[in-house]
Amino acid sequence: MVMRDLNMGTKAGLAVISDKWSALILLNLTGDYQGFMTLRESVRGIGTFKLLIKLATLTRLGLVADTSDYQYKLTLDGQYFQQVLLNLDGWGDRQLRQTTRLSLTNH
């Protein structure tokens, strides 16, 4: 199979993964509703306005559900996407450990 470019679905997924704040929000949400301020405290360093904008984007993408009183949770698609992030995190950790072992044995 010859591929000259990534498909649109892959590009869309990579756009979410490559955005630090979106990834952190998705990793900090669960399948249960939590308040905006609780989420704000768990995603360190993000401003209130930026968090609102990112949540609106993730809601539009169907990854996050919200209520009129600023409660947020992962949708089923959001839970699937969170698993992708966790798998990527695990893969990265394994690669770092392997690279560290290799660099230590080469010195």
Does residue 104 have a pLDDT over 80?
no
9 inside domain: no
Tokens 């768990």 -> residue: 42
- The answer to whether 85 touches 23, Cβ cutoff 8 Å, is yes
Alpha-carbon span 55 to 29, nearest angstrom: 11
Choice among 42-46, 81-85, 92-96 with the minimum mean pLDDT: 92-96
pLDDT average, residue stretch 40-67: 97
Boundaries of domain holding 59: 20-105
15 inside domain: no
8 inside domain: no
Whole-number CA gyration radius for the chain: 17
Alpha-carbon span 101 to 80, nearest angstrom: 32
CATH number at residue 27: 1.10.10.10
Q: Residue 24 — very low, low, confident or very high, per pLDDT cuts 50/70/90?
A: very high
Tokens representing 18 are 């490559």
Three-class secondary structure of residue 75 per DSSP: coil
Alpha-carbon span 52 to 102, nearest angstrom: 43
7 inside domain: no
Sign of the alpha-carbon dihedral angle for 44, 27, 85, 47: negative
12 inside domain: no
The structural domain count of the chain equals: 1
Q: Residue 107 — very low, low, confident or very high, per pLDDT cuts 50/70/90?
A: low
